[in-house]
Chains A and B, each alone.
Chain A
Amino acid sequence: MYPSRFRYEAPATVAEAIALLADANGEAKILAGGQSLIPMMKLRFAAPAMLIDINGIAGLDYHHPDADGTYRIGALCRHADLEKSAALAASQPTMAAAAPVVADPLVRTRGTLVGSLCHADPQGDWASVMVSLGGSIVAQGPNGRRSIAVNDLIDGPFQTVLAADEIAVEAVVPAAIGTRAGGYLKLERRVGDFATVGVAVSAEMSGATVSRAGIGLTGVGPATINAAEAAGSLVGTSLDGDALDTAAQLAAEAAQPRSDHRGSADYKRHVVATFVRRIGEQIQRSGQEAA
């Protein structure tokens, strides 16, 4: 309940934040929403020497589509902003499905999507969503900016490839080929529970046919899982029963769940398969309704 001592800095610009990071030699943490970091500090699972609070940096709280359909989410865009966004609901079905089931409504007023990605919790919902969408983050460091696919960003539980002096300033969802479709299903026992299993399926449809697909899995491995083979099997199909069965099967095989008090490994694989099928059917139904 009582965090350890730390030095607190509240820079006014990204450049200042980067300079502070560089100074701290890996001992600093960025404070955005803080909804994962602060609980860990209260339990003293985390004790950074310095916190760099970026909440005072102007211009990072946006989320919007570019003209070409690329969707950008700033480092200070809160989950609640996404949950309540009509623009998001209209253009990003997978994200719109996930936004309301991240944590609880109060945590969502503070927590950020970019922060959640950088936290790299295998139970994090957003990482699976972004993996399914082929999303990336923009990391800014002393030498400028680089783009890192979310799939490459996370390299273990609570570990990312961000350099000690880099800060993630934005998340980016690429423009779709065709129409975006998708969904996120999360098995949780109550609001705010971590996912026993979370499944994100994103598809880009040309008519009734899948032109591109992605599947991300939450809570069933040491890190977020990119079920690429399962997703690939959907391309070119119309999400018919056989195609969904195949993808479901492949996604279950891609999962690396552990048995624990939330459920057995076999059960979690089964739920992965079930959710892949359910989201697929949902996409197919909504496609038919639209047609």
Chain B
Amino acid sequence: MALDEIKIGGLGASRRRVEDNRFIRGKGNYIDDIVLPGMLHMEILRSPLAHARIRSIDASAAWAIPGVRMVLTGEMLAARNLAWMPTLSYDTQAVLATDKVRFQGQEVACVVADDPYIAKDGCEAIVVDYEPLPPIVNPTQAKAPDAPLIRDDKTGQDSNVVFDWEVGDREGTDRAFAEADVVSTIEMHYPRSHPSPIEACGSIADFNRATSKLTVYMTTQAPHIIRAAVALVAELPEHMIRIVSPDLGGGFGNKVPVYPGYVVSILASILLERPVKWIEDKSGNLISTGFGRDIYLKGEMALRNDGRILGVRMHTDSDHGAFFSDAQPSKFKVGLMHSAFSCYDIGAAHLTAQGVYTNKAPGGVAYRCSFRVTEAMFFQERMVQAAASDLGMDQAEFRRINLVRDDDFPHRTPWGFLTDSGQYGKCLDLGLEAIGYEDFLRQKEEARRRGRLLGIGISTMTEPLGAGNSREYDILGIKMFDSAELKVHMTGKALLRTGAKTQGQGHETTWAQIVAHELGIPAEDVLVEEGDTDTAPFGMGTYASRSTPVAGAAVAMVSRKIRAKARRIAAHLLEVSEEDIEWELGRFSVRGAPDRGVTIQECAIAAYSNMPDGMEPGLENNAYYDPPNLTWPFACYIATVEVDPETGVWDVLRVVAVDDCGVRINPMIVEGQIMGGLTEAYAMANMQFITFDEDGNCIGSNYMDYLLPTAWETPGFELHEVVTPCPHHPIGAKGIGECATVGGPAAFVNAVIDAIGDAGVRNIDMPLLPDRVHEAITAGHDVSGAPPVKTEP
């Protein structure tokens, strides 16, 4: 009798999470929980100024504090050729400042001491003499003819422009605009945001002089990449480096890049020959580490009166901060911005993009987003709303007219992506039905007659998830595959390791479910391990919703290799030829004689005790999976809001989410990802942003100013699903981790704009703070949120 797949925790089971057993007992093992014998503690002194020349650094008072073991400055690093490090975007970044500080919060010195309190005392005792320089906080300032040059360290860099880039069909797009009945334009800024996992970053470097081995415990989403980077930066042999990524208190992209704190802790450990722990505080995390977004759009759409989109033009200006250290492995300068409009059948498209340096923190990361996809889909859905409004068409109808149809797949987008599957119309209809679209429009009209402002916002999008395929991605030339290694022990229990790294997504639970699905070994019999480069197979880590599309596929593929070998063993045990063997979940049987069979567990013991002649013993294997394409989940998010016209405060009434992420391995976990993503979408639309004043001071460098919503404000979510399996993924799954963060913000913003629609307002920049909404309502014009923030009385 076949196994019940749900009962063994296979595909589709909402299996309760294995990792929770330690987390709910307070027995997680996060970076700051690790204590090594003889460990010292490091704290970082940061620049209070956004742009200044360093005249001198006097650390003598810090050295004099009892318990201070070492003070490290840029000068010391420069002597070891470590003051600068390479970035993933082929630029350089200061480890500790030598010549200038280029953003507020930049790392200036580090103090290593017996405990972190003393290390902090040491930081306070360091005297730095700064000569202030004028700061730059936005692209307009950066490109001004008299702008100070931020990167005067780089030979040949004579402006603050990082890159100019374009993609698409310029002439074809021009033709489309020439034929248009209506041209719809909109401008906006997607504000700087921060992934802000509740746990900040940290590392414990442990250099062992006796063995010459360096072990680094580190908050990283991509331990193998870090191992390679450390080998290159510190010039240590790669096989003598072990990176261990312990339990991570969230990542969201923040824990992909290499930060100065990691590098200095490693150097300090080598110099002091003791373990050195660096635990970043929240302010340090928010003020200096990988931010997301901070990009400006000028968007234009060529429209026909019947509602068809003929062409799209986009220009973006991205603000990269002081160093171009985007942690993004796509082959494109503005990431996958040109994946915009992939769900719509548009004629032609052209994108131009420019990036600039400013006196702000570097390290643009894909904050819960596949490299500018969040901005792409936000811009797309805001442009779509403006276009529908310009045509006087219903929002939903305009989308329905232009969405790619089910029978048009595979569909080549004008920017060259290949979308392969989806039921876009069905998702939209399901969303509209769930929210009660027609009813709401009636309520909205009635409410308006009584002076109340209700609004509804729709966001439909497909996005490229699962970095990546080698055509569109690499990291410093390395292809974006991932890996799995499966060891089935003789008792039928198994150990699975992958090159991904969970940060809360539940890999320990879901990977075992894929093994259960492929082999019929109960999920509870599969132990999953990740994050230790000495044991895990080489992989590219977890970000860009790539775990299930890439590492998850590798898990399925390695399971299939194991099954293929087990089939040969089964044939041997059953004394029939392999062609006469049939597979049902967990068991091989003889074709035509279903009673004659052996279980996968029986094959496992035979692999070590009774294998056929000529077969190598053991039931272990690995798989490296380079996906043929990205996965293309689709989502329809709809929000309804009420705006208080007197104060501009808005409340969410309902949120409906329809997600099609293909086959769901663990529906409970998938829904958890969607709700978490919707919350971040709501946060960005409502309250969460980092901005700067005229002096380059960072506003949003702690949780008093950088607001994450609490349980009280966060709306309830109503989730629905459509399943269109991914045609190229071994189990038909698509990425999901980022969908709601990517598609969600536009639903909220569109709803607020819809509510105040009569005011003639096309755009209010996020977050839709009450004063911005109030200004839009009363003044009837667009409201920009671009820095600098004006702070005059």
Contacts and interface: CB of A to CB of B under 8 A. Distances in A.
Given A261-B699, A264-B790, A268-B771, 4 more contacts: A189-B770, A191-B713, A259-B792, A264-B771
A263 B769 contact: yes
Interface string B375-388: 00000000000000
A260 B697 CA distance: 12
Nearest to B705: A261
A190 B713 contact: yes
21 contacts: A1-B281, A43-B283, A44-B120, A44-B124, A187-B649, A189-B686, A189-B770, A190-B708, A190-B713, A191-B710, A191-B712, A194-B704, A196-B771, A258-B791, A259-B792, A260-B789, A261-B789, A262-B769, A265-B793, A267-B774, A270-B774
A104 interface: yes
Given A2-B117, A2-B120, A43-B283, A187 B712 contact: no
Given A259-B790, A267-B771, A104 B710 contact: yes
Contacts of A194: 704
A223 to B, nearest CB: 14
A259 B712 contact: no
Interface in B764-793: 769-771, 774-775, 789-793
Contacts of B702: 43
B506 interface: no
**Residue in B648, B649, B770, B789 with the greatest tally of chain A CB atoms within 10 Å:** B770
Nearest to A104: B710
Interface string A237-271: 00000000000000000001011111111011011
User: Is chain A's binding surface mostly helix, strand, loop or mixed?
Assistant: loop
Contacts of A43: 283, 702
Nearest to A3: B117
A256 B793 CA distance: 8
B60 interface: no
A256 B792 CA distance: 12
Contacts of B121: 4-5
B730 interface: no
A270 to B, nearest CB: 7
A274 interface: yes
B127 to A, nearest CB: 15
A193 interface: yes
Contacts of B775: 264, 267
A44 B283 CA distance: 12
Contacts, number: 78
B770 A263 contact: yes
Interface of B: 43, 116-117, 119-121, 124, 281-283, 646-649, 686-687, 691, 699-700, 702, 704-705, 707-710, 712-713, 769-771, 774-775, 789-793
A241 to B, nearest CB: 15
Contacts of B704: 193-194
Contacts of A270: 774
A271 B120 contact: no
Nearest to B279: A1
A192 interface: yes
A193 B705 CA distance: 8
A2 B116 contact: yes
B769 A190 contact: no
A91 B639 CA distance: 41
Given A262-B769, A264-B775, A190 B647 contact: no
A228 B710 CA distance: 36
Nearest to A274: B646
Query: Which 10 pairs of residues, A with B, have the shortest CB-CB distance?
Result: A263-B771, A267-B771, A2-B120, A2-B117, A189-B687, A1-B281, A191-B710, A261-B789, A191-B712, A261-B699
Contacts of B648: 267
Contacts of B119: 2
Interface of A: 1-5, 43-44, 104, 187, 189-194, 196, 256, 258-265, 267-268, 270-271, 274
A103 to B, nearest CB: 11
B566 to A, nearest CB: 53
A190 B691 contact: no
Contacts of A1: 116, 120, 281-282
A193 B687 CA distance: 10
Contact of B707 (A193, A259, A265): A193
A28 B117 CA distance: 21
Contacts of A104: 710
B701 to A, nearest CB: 11
Contacts of A3: 117
Nearest to B690: A261
A43 B282 CA distance: 11
A189 B793 contact: no
Contacts of A262: 769, 771
A1 B283 CA distance: 9
A258 B771 contact: no
Contact of B793 (A192, A258, A267): A258
B647 A189 contact: no
Contacts of B116: 1-2
Contact of A187 (B647, B691, B699, B709): B647
A270 B775 CA distance: 11
A4 B775 CA distance: 44
A2 B709 CA distance: 26
B120 A189 contact: no
Nearest to B774: A267
A189 B646 contact: no
B647 A258 contact: no
Contacts of B769: 189, 262-263
**Residue in B119, B282, B647, B774 with the greatest tally of chain A CB atoms within 10 Å:** B647
Nearest to B771: A263
Nearest to A273: B646
A201 to B, nearest CB: 16
Contacts of B712: 190-191
Contacts of B793: 256, 258-259, 265
Contacts of A267: 648, 770-771, 774-775
B773 to A, nearest CB: 10
A196 B770 contact: yes
Nearest to A222: B793
Nearest to B772: A263
Contacts of B647: 187, 271, 274
Contacts of B709: 190
B498 to A, nearest CB: 34
Nearest to A258: B793
Given A4-B121, A196-B770, A262-B769, A190 B283 contact: no
Given A191-B710, A191-B713, A274-B647, A259 B791 contact: yes
A258 B792 contact: yes
Nearest to B116: A2
A187 B792 contact: no
Contacts of A260: 789, 791
Contacts of B281: 1
A184 to B, nearest CB: 15
Nearest to A196: B770
A44 B123 CA distance: 11
A138 B120 CA distance: 38
Contacts of B283: 43
A278 to B, nearest CB: 8
A285 B710 CA distance: 32
A187 B770 CA distance: 9
A227 B686 CA distance: 31
B50 to A, nearest CB: 16
B686 A261 contact: no
Contact of A190 (B124, B710, B774): B710
A207 B15 CA distance: 64
Nearest to B686: A189
Contacts of A44: 120, 124
A274 B645 CA distance: 11
A3 B117 CA distance: 7
A203 B534 CA distance: 71
Contacts of B774: 267, 270
A107 to B, nearest CB: 12
A193 B686 CA distance: 13
